[in-house]
């Protein structure tokens, strides 16, 4: 939307003047003066129902308080939020009291405790003891809504965000509201269950602890975890996520609304499927023909790579840094060498298409960006696989655990690789079939053990954070290429660790190298749009 073409409306919020496009609701306009209006049911990506009554504001001339989520701005409107109006503060306190009268207050065992809007708002806007001494309404405490989500109806505050998500975003309408009055509760519609590919989002949307992930219920208190803003490496959509980590384990995955991409959701595969990126056993030692050797010794066996008969097969979830050094290495020592990324397309249902990209290749765009592979990565990959089958190449470097897609990793390809004169695997998973297949195996790190840049399907440069600890005997993939290059007598980077490498790369990509740290901060937070040359 081109904002310059829209009529701007000027109004005052808490005596501060703001200009916003016509049709904006007060709650959005208030963000411009940093007046955070508390709300439960409002969500900018869902329709407006105005049922929580938490966002009431005073509008001059209106007989009663208006809800900020539904009232559109008018020229000259004078709005007072809780910051300047006693009436609004009273209304908010009373709404909170009402919401809490039938709430079980089982914060001590509730997964939401610590990141619960009820707790936050109660402390901020009410903080009074309840005057309610009657018996609370009891409802179901643990009803499975589907394979992934559990409902605790007593904790529910009936904001209906989950219902609206299923009605409006996935359009699958699994959820509804049954009964009336204080007996009303969220329920699955008859004959359905909540099992759409985005079901986990309803838990993110739930402002309280009513909806929880089956998988992570009663798992950990949120304040014992480290929360990291990163991106999902499941497919090339590269959704923004927030991961909670405790004791070097991922314990919770949440979608992280990204204002730049206007994306608020996360698919269940990305949310619950992160385990596939974490090897059960990490590879710690280098080996040559299954014999454990030091990394330096292993590298001594790789002189043959300086040949145009070498081929590089790269995993699609490597970082831009890795691809970059592969490119540099190839330019210096094997300019005619074959390169391919293990890209396999996938078919998606109409519903999945709203978010998921048709691949499992999180970062194939980076390889394209660097000119390593063509516009048709799948045929590049198949061509190279055929060359391996036909023994048309002599040396093969497999970079990353998924350098050969798991669907293709069968006994035929394994025997074809063993027949090659030299095969090198740079992998992190000790259980990988490549470990016993390749002549030389170098220990590396899984995608969560290193940090680096990724380019999404929509050409957005993003940053994947290091989440888990790594073994110091390992190196990130790109580092091996520098070690080899210096061994061959021509260093290709000065960087020694991830961050240095990232900054060096950013300096090359970006027009303004003077402010790399700011750039990196932006890339980490919301990503940066880039253009292919």
Partner 1 sequence: MKILLKGIEFDDNVSVAGYQSRGGYESFRKALSMSPDSVVDEVKKSGLRGRGGAGFPTGIKWSFFIPRKTEKPIYLIINADESEPGTFKDRLIMERNPHLLLEGILCGAWALQAQKTFIYIRGEYAYPYTVMKQAIKECYEKGLLGQNILGSGFSHDVIIHRGAGAYICGEETALMNSLEGKKGQPRLKPPFPAGYGLYGMPTNINNVETICNIPFIVQNGGDAYFKIGVEKSSGTKLISASGHIKKPGIYEVEMGYPLLDFINNECGGMLEGRKIKCIIPGGSSTPVMTGEELVGVNLDYESMRLAGSSLGCAGFMVLDDTADMVEVLLNLTKFYAHESCGQCTPCREGGHWIEKIVQRIADGQGRPEDIALIQSVCGQIAGHTICAFGDTMVMPYQSILKKFASEFEAKISLNPNSLVAKSKRLAVLQENQL
Using rule CB under 8 A, residue 158 touches partner 1: yes
Pairing of strands 338-341, 310-314: parallel
Query: Does residue 432 belong to the site contacting partner 1 (CB under 8 A)?
Result: no
> Residue 383 interacts with partner 1 (CB under 8 A)?
no
The candidate with the shortest Cα–Cα distance to 87, out of 117, 50, 120, 59, is 59
CA angle 234, 235, 240 (to 5 degrees): 70
The Cα–Cα gap between 329 and 395 comes to 15
Q: Answer yes or no whether residue 97 interacts with partner 1 by CB under 8 A.
A: yes
Binders in 100-139 for partner 1, by CB under 8 A? 101-102, 131-132, 134-135, 137
For residue 166, state whether it binds partner 1 (rule: CB under 8 A).
no
- 215 binds partner 1, rule: CB under 8 A: no
**Which listed range, 42-50, 191-199, 292-300, 393-401, lies at the site for partner 1 (CB under 8 A)?**
42-50
d(CA 477, CA 442): 9
* Part of the chain binding partner 1 (CB under 8 A), chosen from 179-187, 202-210, 318-326, 354-362: 179-187
Query: Could you please report the per-residue DSSP string of 419-462?
Result: HSSEEEEEESBTT-HHHHHSSEEEE---GGGS-EEEE-TT-EEE
The reply to whether 177 sits near partner 1 by the rule CB under 8 A is yes
Closest CB 62 distance from partner 1, rounded Å: 10
**Interface stretch with partner 1, choices 46-54, 105-113, 191-199, 518-526 (CB under 8 A):** 46-54
Q: How far apart are CA 433 and CA 386, in angstroms?
A: 19
Q: Are 277 and 466 contacting, i.e. CB atoms less than 8 angstroms apart?
A: no
Which residue from 25, 157, 433, 440 is in contact with partner 1, where contact means CB under 8 A?
157
Interface with partner 1 (CB under 8 A), residue from 50, 114, 257, 358 = 50
Cross-strand partners of 386: none
Q: Is 480 helix (H, G, I), strand (E, B) or coil?
A: helix
76-95 positions binding partner 1, by CB under 8 A: 91, 94-95
Q: Is 504 exposed, middle or buried (0-12, 13-18, 19+ CB in 10 A)?
A: middle
- The one among 32, 51, 189, 308 contacting partner 1 by CB under 8 A: 51
52 binds partner 1 (CB under 8 A): yes
Among the listed ranges 178-186, 270-278, 456-464, 499-507, the one in contact with partner 1 (CB under 8 A) is 178-186
Indicate which single residue of 64, 262, 275, 280 sits in contact with partner 1 (rule: CB under 8 A): 64
Beta bridge partners of 425: 398, 441
Question: How far is Cα 283 from Cα 290, in angstroms, rounded to an integer?
Answer: 13
The footprint of partner 1 (CB under 8 A) covers 48-54, 56, 63-65, 70, 91, 94-95, 97-99, 101-102, 131-132, 134-135, 137, 157-158, 176-177, 179-184
């Amino acid at each position: 939307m081109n904002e310059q073409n829209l009529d701007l409306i000027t109004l005052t919020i808490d005596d501060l003047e703001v200009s916003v496009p016509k049709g904006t609701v007060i709650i959005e306009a208030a963000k411009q003066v940093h007046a955070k209006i508390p709300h439960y049911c409002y969500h900018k990506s869902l329709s407006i129902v105005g049922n929580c009554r938490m966002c009431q504001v005073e509008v001059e001339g209106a007989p009663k308080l208006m809800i900020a989520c539904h009232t559109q701005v008018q020229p000259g409107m004078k709005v007072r939020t809780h910051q300047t109006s006693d009436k609004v503060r009273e209304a908010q306190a009373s709404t909170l009291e009402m919401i809490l009268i039938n709430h079980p207050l089982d914060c001590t065992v509730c997964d939401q405790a610590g990141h619960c809007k009820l707790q936050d708002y109660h402390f901020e806007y009410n903080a009074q003891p309840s005057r309610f001494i009657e018996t609370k309404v009891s409802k179901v405490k643990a009803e499975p809504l589907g394979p992934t989500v559990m409902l605790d109806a007593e904790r529910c505050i009936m904001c209906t965000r989950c219902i609206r998500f299923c009605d409006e975003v996935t359009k699958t309408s699994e959820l509804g509201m049954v009964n009336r009055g204080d007996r009303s509760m969220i329920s699955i519609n008859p004959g359905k269950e909540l099992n759409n590919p985005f079901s986990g989002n309803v838990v993110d949307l739930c402002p309280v602890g009513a909806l929880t992930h089956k998988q992570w219920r009663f798992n950990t208190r949120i304040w014992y975890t480290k929360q990291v803003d990163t991106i999902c490496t499941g497919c090339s959509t590269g959704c923004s996520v927030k991961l909670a980590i405790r004791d070097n384990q991922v314990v919770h995955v949440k979608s992280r609304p990204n204002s730049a991409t206007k994306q608020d959701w996360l698919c269940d595969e990305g949310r619950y499927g992160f385990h596939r990126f974490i090897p059960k056993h990490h590879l710690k030692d280098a080996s040559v023909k299954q014999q454990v050797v030091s990394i330096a010794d292993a590298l001594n066996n790789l002189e043959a790579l300086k040949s145009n008969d070498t081929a590089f097969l790269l995993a699609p979830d490597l970082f831009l840094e890795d691809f970059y050094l592969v490119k540099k290495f190839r330019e210096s020592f094997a300019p005619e060498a074959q390169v391919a990324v293990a890209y396999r397309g996938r078919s998606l249902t109409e519903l999945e298409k709203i978010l998921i990209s048709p691949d499992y290749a999180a970062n194939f765009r980076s390889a394209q960006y660097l000119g390593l592979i063509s516009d048709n990565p799948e045929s590049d990959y198949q061509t190279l696989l055929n060359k391996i089958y036909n023994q048309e190449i002599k040396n093969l470097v497999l970079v990353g655990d998924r350098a050969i897609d798991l669907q293709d990793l069968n006994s035929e390809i394994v025997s074809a690789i063993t027949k090659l004169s030299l095969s090198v695997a740079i992998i992190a998973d000790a259980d990988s079939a490549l470990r016993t297949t390749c002549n030389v195996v170098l220990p590396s790190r899984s995608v969560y053990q290193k940090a680096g840049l990724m380019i999404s399907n929509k050409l957005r440069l993003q940053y994947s954070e290091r989440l888990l600890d790594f073994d110091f005997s390992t190196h990130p993939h790109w580092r091996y290429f520098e070690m080899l290059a210096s061994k061959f007598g021509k260093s290709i980077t000065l960087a020694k660790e991830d961050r240095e490498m990232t900054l060096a790369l950013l300096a090359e990509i970006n027009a303004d190298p003077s402010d790399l740290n700011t750039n990196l901060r932006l890339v980490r937070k919301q990503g940066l749009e880039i253009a292919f040359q």
